[in-house]
């Protein structure tokens, strides 16, 4: 019995053959379906991890999702904010495994870097479609790293965007952003946070700000109808949105428990949160009432999203006849004898 292995080369081929837009559109659609269906009966506990690196600034986490009777998906993901500068590697590095819930067999293994970026963008597109004005034309980005690329891509798929205004604490990252999203064909300008707040209909905060270093938004110039996708908070003490903004906004989280522990919502009490994103997807009228006011999506990222991203990748690979089939596990013919080799 074999395990499907999707390597970087397979994923590159899938993306080249199908196109970035197809991949993102399918991700938005499949994630939306999963959210509307309350995760199809799956269970996603809050992630756990080991803090590491100088001053505990980095973490390796495991993010499990269980579909009883079907499968378990686990993403192992490292957040290493000094990676780009010191090792020329991404801040977020991960891989995913899928197990058969009946037998425990390893069914599939794949990269977790691209699926994470795509599904995080897709989640913001879904939240923004519910909470931002449908005619939103200006996207603001605070943080211009890897995730900012897929935030811009995903939002461009569901809004008539014309302009992106972008800020990063590292001016070189802000400057290179236009080139990285050239494929979107949008007007991209570097701007201070004050200008982003004063002009953007939708803002994504997507930084690697340090614990204790936030917030990255000022919250003094926001348009009354602004919608904020807060992506970066994922550690205790790390946040991007000022408390006074959260207090005056309608706030929804992707995963309530995780958001209260390590997202923007760690600044709030549980009673301050609105319905979560899955509840809003199931009953969009709950969101529509807030569209003309200030809204915040607290995105911490949870393993249901990884599970759906894995499904999408496996589907695309199967459609293109791609993927290696490898016998990783030693499954002896005599189940009672681990020394039995065929």
Query: Which residues bind to ligand NAD, rule: CB under 6 A?
Result: 79, 81, 84, 91-92, 116, 120, 142-148, 168-170, 173, 206-209, 213, 216, 231-232, 234, 299-301
Whether a cis peptide bond, with omega within 30° of 0, leads into 48 is: no
In the bound state, the residue with its beta carbon closest to ligand NAD is 145
Give the DSSP H or E segment for 282: helix 277-282
Q: How far is the CB of 298 from ligand NAD (least distance, A)?
A: 9
SS (H, E, C) 63-112: EEEEECCCEEEEEEEEECCCHHHHHCCCCEEEEEEEEECCCCCEEEEEEC
Q: Give CA–CA dist 55/73, Å, rounded.
A: 31
Q: Give CA–CA dist 181/170, Å, rounded.
A: 17
User: What backbone phi and psi angles, to 5 degrees, belong to 140?
Assistant: -105, 140
Give the up-direction half-sphere exposure of residue 162: CA atoms within 13 A in the CB hemisphere: 6
Quick one: 31 or 106, whose CB is closer to ligand NAD?
A: 31
Quick one: 42 or 94, whose CB is closer to ligand NAD?
A: 94
Q: How far is the CB of 124 from ligand NAD (least distance, A)?
A: 8
Instruction: Please give the order of strands across the beta sheet that includes 92-100.
Output: 48-52, 58-67, 71-79, 92-100, 106-111, 3-6, 324-326
Quick one: 4 or 110, whose CB is closer to ligand NAD?
A: 110
Q: How far is the CB of 20 from ligand NAD (least distance, A)?
A: 17
Q: How far is the CB of 6 from ligand NAD (least distance, A)?
A: 19
Please identify which residue in the block is written with the tokens 């080799």: 341
Quick one: 3 or 229, whose CB is closer to ligand NAD?
A: 229
Quick one: 159 or 239, whose CB is closer to ligand NAD?
A: 239
Please identify which residue in the block is written with the tokens 């393993």: 303
Quick one: 3 or 266, whose CB is closer to ligand NAD?
A: 266
Q: How far is the CB of 208 from ligand NAD (least distance, A)?
A: 4
Residue 32, SS3 per DSSP: helix
Q: In 183-211, which positions are buried (b, 16+ CB within 10 angstroms) versus exposed (e)?
A: ebebebebbebeebbbbbbbbbbbbbbee
Quick one: 174 or 316, whose CB is closer to ligand NAD?
A: 174
Are the CB atoms for 151 and 120 separated by under 8 Å?
Answer: yes
Q: How far is the CB of 16 from ligand NAD (least distance, A)?
A: 22
Q: How far is the CB of 234 from ligand NAD (least distance, A)?
A: 5
């Amino acid at each position: 019995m074999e395990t499907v292995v999707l390597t970087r080369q397979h994923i590159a081929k899938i993306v080249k053959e199908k196109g970035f837009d197809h991949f993102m559109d399918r991700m938005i659609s499949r994630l939306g379906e999963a959210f509307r269906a309350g995760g199809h009966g799956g269970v996603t506990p809050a992630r756990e991890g080991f803090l590491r690196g100088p001053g505990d600034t980095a973490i390796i986490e495991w993010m499990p999702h269980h579909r009883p009777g079907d499968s378990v998906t686990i993403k192992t993901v490292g957040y290493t904010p000094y990676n780009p500068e010191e090792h020329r590697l991404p801040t977020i590095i991960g891989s995913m495994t899928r197990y058969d819930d009946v037998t425990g067999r390893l069914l599939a293994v794949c990269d977790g870097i691209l699926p994470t970026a795509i599904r995080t963008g897709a989640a913001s597109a879904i939240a923004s479609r519910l909470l931002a004005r449908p005619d939103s034309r200006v996207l603001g980005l605070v943080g211009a790293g890897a995730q900012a690329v897929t935030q811009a891509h995903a939002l461009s798929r569901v809004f008539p965007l014309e302009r992106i205004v972008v800020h990063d604490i590292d001016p070189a990252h802000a400057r290179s952003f236009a080139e990285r999203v050239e494929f979107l064909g949008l007007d991209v300008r570097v701007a201070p946070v004050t200008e982003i707040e004063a002009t953007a209909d939708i803002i994504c905060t997507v930084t690697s700000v340090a614990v204790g270093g936030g917030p990255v938004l000022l919250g003094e110039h926001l348009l009354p109808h602004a919608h904020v996708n807060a992506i970066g908070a994922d550690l205790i003490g790390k946040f991007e949105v000022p408390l006074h903004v959260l207090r005056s906004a309608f706030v929804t989280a992707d995963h309530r428990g995780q958001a209260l522990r390590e997202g923007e919502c760690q600044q709030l009490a549980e009673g301050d949160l609105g319905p979560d994103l899955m509840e809003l997807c199931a009953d969009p009228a709950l969101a529509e009432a807030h569209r003309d006011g200030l809204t915040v999506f607290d995105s911490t990222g949870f393993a249901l999203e990884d599970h759906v991203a894995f499904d999408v990748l496996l589907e695309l690979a199967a459609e293109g006849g791609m993927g290696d089939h490898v016998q990783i596990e030693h499954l002896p013919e005599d189940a009672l004898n681990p020394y039995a080799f065929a």
